[in-house]
Amino acid sequence: MEPTMERLQKVIARAGVTSRRKAEVLITEGKVTVNGEVVTALGTKVSDKDRVEVNGVPIAQEEFVYYALHKPRGVLSTVSDDRGRDTVIDLMPKMAERIYPVGRLDYDTSGILLLTNDGDFSYVLTHPKYEVEKTYVAKVENIPSRETLKKLARGVVLEDGKTAPAKTKLVSVNRKMQTAIVEITIHEGKNRQVRRMFDAVGHPVQKLRRERFGMIEARGLNAGEFRPLTIHEVKQLRVLAETGNLK
């Protein structure tokens, strides 16, 4: 029987070394070898019989782990910080696996964040073409009109391009304080996108929380708390990313 051949970047990501996109960068930079030979072509395929090394270190398959964390405000969505600030990894117990966040949440944004060592899983959940929905609840200045909400839903022009269509809902208003709570669902991941979208329509965000990532909710987890995803949830997220629907 012929061994199964897979793209090199996918094999590196599945080994928990890094994400698939970063694996592609490592390959093109000449930092990956296959059976002792430097490989720079992204279309290269390998099998489990091939010896793959990244920066001179052989890749080893870790057991995949998946977590949902309710990230508090004032915590970085990175593995480490050279300025000594708290990161989401500091909130997790020490473990053998090298986990990292799936995408990012802004420093001042709280809510649901996934962490894993499965680079391929991270790739399909964060790549724009898979359109996995993320729902946020924002407390904004002033009370947006129905037309403003429609404008957000249609997409607004930011300095890095127009945003894709979104879903918006006015949850509540405080006329005395002239603030409103707005729910917005997007499937992109531009830097500080939700805050910039509200800035663009004249309603700066005072507080922002991500309520859902796919079907995974922050509800049930206090800020700073985490839980492992179930096998069923992991499968559901993959199906959602690849088909756009839960089955």
Strand extents, DSSP E, the chain: 6-7, 32-34, 37-38, 45-46, 52-54, 57-58, 66-71, 100-101, 110-116, 134-141, 157-158, 161-162, 167-174, 179-186, 205-213, 216-217, 226-228
CA angle 78, 80, 86 (to 5 degrees): 80
Reply yes or no on whether 106 is catalytic: yes
CA distance 19 to 103: 10
Strand order, beta sheet including 37-38: 37-38, 32-34, 52-54, 57-58
Helix (H, G, I), strand (E, B) or coil at 232: helix
Per the residue annotation, which of 82, 106, 108, 160 is the catalytic one? Answer: 106
Handedness of CA 234, 116, 10, 25 (dihedral sign): positive
CA distance 62 to 159: 40
Instruction: Enumerate the active-site residues.
Output: 106
